[in-house]
Amino acid sequence: MGLLRLVCAFLLAFCCCCRRATGVPGEAERPMPELVEVEVGSTALLKCGPSHSQGNLSHVDWFSVHKEKPTLIFRVRQGQGQSEPGEYQHRLSLQGRGGPLALTEVTPHDERIFLCQSKRPRSQEHRIQLRVCKAPEEPNIQVNVLGIPVNSEEPQEVATCVGRNGYPIPQVIWYKNGRPLKEEKNRVHIQSSQIVESSGLYTLQSVLKAQLVKEDKDAQFYCELNYRLPSGNHMKESREVSVPVFYSTEKVWLEVEPMGVLKEGDYVEIRCLADGNPPPHFSISKQNSSTGEMDEQIINDVGVLVLEPARKEHSGLYECQGLDLQTMVSLPSEQQELLVNYVSDVRVTPTAPETQEGGSLILTCEAESNQALEFQWLREKTGQVLGAGPTLQLHNLKREAGGGYRCVASVPSVPGLNRTQLVNVAIFGPPWMAFKERKVWVKENAAWNLSCEASGHPRPIISWNVNGTASEQEQDPQRVLSTLNVLVTPELLETGAECMASNSLGKNTTVIFLELVSLTTLTPDSNKTAGLSTSTVSPHARANSTSTEKKLPEPESKGVVIVAVTVCILVLAVLGAVLYFFYKKGKLPCGRSGKQEITLPPSRKSEFVVEVKSDKLPEEMGLLQGSNGDKRAPGDQGEKYIDLRH
């Protein structure tokens, strides 16, 4: 019985609510009730009959009709309203004297017929059908995250749509890729149900079930709620969802990244791919070149084999297997050849070539590759190309021809694929010094590094004639650099130092003169100060003892200049003040000529500055200019002065 009533209410709501009523069937003799539509929560205005007769109704009874039974709810006497006790007691009032009856806070329970009867003047009863509407909330869609297999026998749940608190029950429409879905036997089922909330509002729940195919893996589903308000038809859409669709693997294949020609050292990825969802369990195998069988290499879910770096052993036939865990069917991919191009280590013979000065040498270069190789010879220091081909002939070798030679073996068809080998050519000869003699700028009583470089074959040994800590560095097989850390004593300044290089074929020496560095080691670095400072060093500094090396009293002279300039500025300030005083007193003419006189002080100032400049040593002016370059290490500057001198 209750269900029947619910269905009836449902049908009634759909056929009639919020639409112009066509009358209650079987009551043809009665006039059609007047239809009044209101939204839940708002106020309904009920008029007893056509508006033109309103003012005359001074004596009216209002009834609410529930289950065909009228109940008196409100009375109007001499235009004054009065509520009757009951469910409407507190929500009814007259809108002004003789105005319509206002029902506030309308709820779905108020959807019924109201009836009024005017006693004075006596009139026919007037019936009003109150219709209540409310928009549902935004529809909420939940997708079936577990997914749907394509070969399911019955339609499977795709998604559930919930629209809360609407009145009457909204209509739901499901969409796939923007097109509405219709009920289809064994393919599409839409199951809708609703709950009546205590407020009388409906919460609608609709479940979409469907049989899906592989192509539906990217399909977008959403639901739409249609409802009516007094203002007209409306709808609300849910967001779009897509459901995981499961289908078996039909094809497995293999991809190699990067595509194109590969070489040793490259980063290479072999990837297994399949068209099934979920992807199958992959394994990758490689052909054993000796047995010709596919030896399984790796089993992993992702099916990616990374070769980093690729080596020539990685070349060969590869194959992927995909095991579908649903069907337990294993599918192989096509086999794919992987070729990692390579160049072997390069060998140069002889490995340690040596000859007398004026002699000849033949260098031979060898390497293997799976591709055609090209050879090239370069001079190591300069990068100069000496020739192409696997052999290099060297004739009438001078001592300068000693040093590094590099053979480059490259594969022209594979860009960037090459290997090289360096070989050192040694020419027999006595030591050869980098400098025959050398000047070093030092500070007294400081530890200083003296260096000496010699070349020769066999490689020379370096010794020093002064005490200190020596360390040797082998620059290349024929070259050695010795560094001696010494304390700069007055004696050492006088004698200087000498290094001697010797090998089985002879000896050679470098003489090192020590010169004292002057104040310039403390000045900021700039070309001007550096250039000037060298002039302050006596050319005989080394010969004279340290006492003569006491420098110009430069901080004092610097101070004098600063004082002079300060005094000048003060004098100018006083002069300016005096001139201004006279100007204010009117003792000076205020015209153009006056201005000229006032501009005089700045020009005099510049005169003073010029005088100072001409007075003082140029390097002090350099100081005054105060170039603010960064300070260098003393040793660093010492080097620089040598360069300037030469």
Please report how close the Cβ of residue 514 comes to ligand NAG at its closest, in angstroms. 14
Round to whole Å and give the CA distance between 602 and 228. Answer: 92
Shorter beta-carbon distance to ligand NAG: residue 208 or 373: 373
Which residues of this protein are in contact with ligand NAG, per CB under 6 A?
Answer: 55-56, 288, 290-291, 295, 408, 410, 416, 418, 430, 432-433, 436, 449, 466-467, 471, 483, 485, 506, 508, 527, 540, 543-544, 548, 635
Shorter beta-carbon distance to ligand NAG: residue 151 or 288: 288
- Spatial CB neighbours of 502, under 8 Å, sequence gap ≥ 6: 431, 460, 461, 463, 508
Q: Count the helix, strand and coil residues of the chain and give each as a percent rounded to the nearest 5.
A: 20, 45, 35
Please report how close the Cβ of residue 548 comes to ligand NAG at its closest, in angstroms. 4
Please report how close the Cβ of residue 385 comes to ligand NAG at its closest, in angstroms. 10
Round to whole Å and give the CA distance between 249 and 327. Answer: 9
Shorter beta-carbon distance to ligand NAG: residue 381 or 540: 540
Shorter beta-carbon distance to ligand NAG: residue 211 or 341: 341
The SS3 assignment for 436 reads: coil
Shorter beta-carbon distance to ligand NAG: residue 177 or 467: 467
Shorter beta-carbon distance to ligand NAG: residue 249 or 410: 410
Q: In 308-373, where do the E strands start and end?
A: 316-324, 329-332, 336-338, 340-341, 347-349, 354-355, 361-366
Please report how close the Cβ of residue 435 comes to ligand NAG at its closest, in angstroms. 6
CA 524 to chain centre: 43
Shorter beta-carbon distance to ligand NAG: residue 111 or 453: 453
The answer to whether the CB of 601 falls within 8 A of the CB of 572 is yes
The CA-atom distances, in angstroms, between 113 and each of 12, 99, 100, 396 are: 14, 19, 16, 126
Please report how close the Cβ of residue 375 comes to ligand NAG at its closest, in angstroms. 11
Round to whole Å and give the CA distance between 615 and 472. Answer: 51
Residues in the chain: 646
Shorter beta-carbon distance to ligand NAG: residue 108 or 403: 403
Round to whole Å and give the CA distance between 141 and 188. Answer: 17
Please report how close the Cβ of residue 262 comes to ligand NAG at its closest, in angstroms. 13
Shorter beta-carbon distance to ligand NAG: residue 200 or 316: 316
Please report how close the Cβ of residue 335 comes to ligand NAG at its closest, in angstroms. 16
CA 210 to chain centre: 42
Shorter beta-carbon distance to ligand NAG: residue 199 or 544: 544
What b/e readout covers 597-606, taking b as 16+ CB neighbours within 10 angstroms?
eeeeeeeebe
Shorter beta-carbon distance to ligand NAG: residue 51 or 351: 51
Q: What is the 3-state secondary structure (H, E, C) of 387-408?
A: EECCEEEECCCCHHHCEEEEEE
Please report how close the Cβ of residue 527 comes to ligand NAG at its closest, in angstroms. 4
Shorter beta-carbon distance to ligand NAG: residue 543 or 569: 543
Please report how close the Cβ of residue 230 comes to ligand NAG at its closest, in angstroms. 28
Please report how close the Cβ of residue 138 comes to ligand NAG at its closest, in angstroms. 48
Please report how close the Cβ of residue 73 comes to ligand NAG at its closest, in angstroms. 25
Residue type, 447: A
Query: What is the Cβ-side half-sphere exposure of residue 419, based on CA atoms within 13 angstroms?
Result: 18
The CA-atom distances, in angstroms, between 35 and each of 46, 49, 112, 185, 438 are: 10, 12, 10, 40, 118
Q: Can you list the pairs that 490-497 forms with residues at least 24 positions away whose Cβ atoms lie under 8 Å?
A: 490/444, 490/545, 490/546, 492/466, 493/442, 493/444, 493/542, 493/546, 494/542, 494/543, 494/545, 495/466, 496/542, 497/450, 497/464, 497/465, 497/466
Q: Is the peptide bond before 539 cis (omega within 30 degrees of 0)?
A: no
Which residue has tokens 């990244």?
A: 257
- Spatial CB neighbours of 608, under 8 Å, sequence gap ≥ 6: 568
What Rg value do the Cα atoms of the chain yield, rounded?
A: 54
Please report how close the Cβ of residue 559 comes to ligand NAG at its closest, in angstroms. 26
Q: Which among 306, 304, 314, 305 is positioned nearest to 263, based on CA atoms? A: 314
Shorter beta-carbon distance to ligand NAG: residue 540 or 584: 540
Please report how close the Cβ of residue 485 comes to ligand NAG at its closest, in angstroms. 5
The widest CA-to-CA distance across the chain, in whole angstroms, is 149
Shorter beta-carbon distance to ligand NAG: residue 193 or 504: 504
Shorter beta-carbon distance to ligand NAG: residue 353 or 430: 430
The answer to whether the CB of 503 falls within 8 A of the CB of 514 is no
Shorter beta-carbon distance to ligand NAG: residue 31 or 55: 55
Please report how close the Cβ of residue 528 comes to ligand NAG at its closest, in angstroms. 8
Q: Which 8-state DSSP code applies to residue 239?
A: P
Please report how close the Cβ of residue 393 comes to ligand NAG at its closest, in angstroms. 22
Round to whole Å and give the CA distance between 104 and 41. Answer: 7
The answer to whether the CB of 538 falls within 8 A of the CB of 552 is no
In sequence order, the β-bridge partners of residue 554 are none
The answer to whether the CB of 404 falls within 8 A of the CB of 437 is no
Please report how close the Cβ of residue 190 comes to ligand NAG at its closest, in angstroms. 55
Residue nearest to ligand NAG (CB): 55
Q: Which among 157, 162, 168, 203 is positioned nearest to 7, based on CA atoms? A: 168
